[in-house]
């Protein structure tokens, strides 16, 4: 029996790859992926604080809406205090649903990446024509507001169909974040070329931990510190990427923001000159500039 395979990349052990360094000789790249999401009222998907009742599920809708009305501003103030850049992963409907939110990240000079139209839907549920339309509509709306097309994409709910990498490459995207399978960027094969997979975390992600595993802010912060300490030491052996995935309707609440600040200050204080604090797009651009031969694809 031959095990079915995605055909996007071949197996490669991280300990057996060519060595390289990030800009200025740094070995660990750190970035924050902040999800800026909106949700349809009374229909579609959405993370839940508690088991939802019949639609309209006001309890969970309002809990998520707090993130755009309050939580994101608390997080922005924290990022400003720490002079931390981030990659804003933007539902394109955010411009109309929560005016001023995406614009605040643009004003900071942060990267704006595509994150579908809304997190009330999954693109992996669509046929190829419908998915192409979703990508085109989200990309066009972001480009119209930002004056340039986004270079990176994270699918809503990290959902992909079997042709998503192909469609993203054909739409002009340089990198995607959905494949959480490595600690270094990985070239992926598409039907008309290749696209770069930049590491995005599933473990250091507040939804799986706080919503899924019922951990709280203090424990999540401890996880960030523990992961950073391990990766900083390991980066002496090989270059690594550490991403941190956050959502304003989770980490933007007052009982969690202090724990997040503690973890981020640890990253900055201990990392010092050894860590490249950047964006997902910065990592993509730097890796492309290295000119490394890609690992053999399938």
pLDDT for the residue numbered 102: 98
In a domain, 281, yes or no: yes
pTM above 0.85, yes or no: yes
| 295 within some domain | no
Domain enclosing residue 116, as ranges: 26-41+53-289
Q: How confident is the model at residue 151 (pLDDT cuts 50, 70, 90)?
A: very high
Place of tokens 């060519």: 18
> Max CA-CA distance within the chain?
56
Peptide bond into 288 cis (omega under 30): no
Query: Does residue 276 sit within a domain?
Result: yes
In a domain, 8, yes or no: no
Please state the domain count of the chain.
Answer: 1
Within a domain: 160: yes
* Token code pair at residue 251: 């980490």
Residue 174 lies in a domain: yes
> What was the pLDDT predicted at 145?
97
What lies within 8 Å, CB to CB, of 151 at 6+ separation is 113, 173, 174, 175, 281, 284
Residue 34 has a pLDDT of: 98
Q: Is residue 30 part of a domain?
A: yes
Does residue 169 fall inside a structural domain? yes
Smallest CA-to-CA distance from 114 within 154, 145, 147 is with 154
Integer Cα distance of 106 and 199 in angstroms: 23
Contact 246, 237 (CB under 8 A): no
Q: Which of 191, 126, 210 is nearest to 161 (CA)?
A: 126
pLDDT band at 294 (very low <50, low <70, confident <90, very high): low
Q: What is the CATH number of the domain that holds 125?
A: 3.20.20.370
């Amino acid at each position: 029996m031959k095990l079915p395979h995605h055909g996007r990349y071949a197996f490669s052990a991280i300990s057996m790859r060519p060595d390289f360094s990030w800009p200025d000789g740094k070995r660990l790249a750190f970035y924050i992926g902040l999800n800026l999401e909106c949700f349809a009222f009374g229909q579609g998907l959405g993370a839940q604080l508690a088991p939802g009742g019949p639609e309209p599920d006001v309890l969970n809708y309002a809990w998520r809406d707090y993130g755009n009305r309050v939580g994101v501003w608390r997080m922005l103030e924290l990022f400003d205090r720490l002079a931390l850049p981030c990659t804003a992963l933007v539902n394109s409907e955010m411009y109309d649903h929560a005016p001023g939110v995406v614009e605040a990240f643009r004003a900071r000079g942060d990267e704006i990446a595509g994150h579908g139209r809304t997190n009330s839907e999954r693109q992996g549920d669509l046929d190829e024509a419908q998915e192409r339309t979703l990508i085109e509509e989200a990309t066009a709306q972001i480009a119209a507001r930002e004056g340039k097309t986004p270079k990176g994409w994270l699918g809503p709910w990290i959902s992909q169909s079997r042709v998503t990498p192909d469609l993203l490459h054909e739409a002009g995207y340089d990198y995607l974040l959905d494949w959480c399978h490595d600690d270094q960027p990985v070239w992926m094969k598409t039907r008309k070329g290749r696209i770069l997979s930049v590491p995005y975390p599933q473990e250091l992600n507040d939804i799986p931990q706080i919503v899924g595993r019922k951990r709280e802010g203090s424990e999540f912060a401890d996880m960030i510190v523990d992961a950073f300490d391990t990766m900083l030491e390991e980066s002496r052996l090989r270059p690594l990427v550490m991403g941190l995935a956050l959502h304003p309707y989770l980490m933007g609440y007052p009982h969690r923001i202090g724990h997040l600040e503690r973890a981020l200050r640890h990253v900055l204080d201990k990392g010092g000159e050894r860590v490249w604090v950047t964006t997902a797009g910065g990592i993509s651009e730097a890796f492309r500039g290295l000119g490394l031969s890609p690992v053999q694809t399938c």
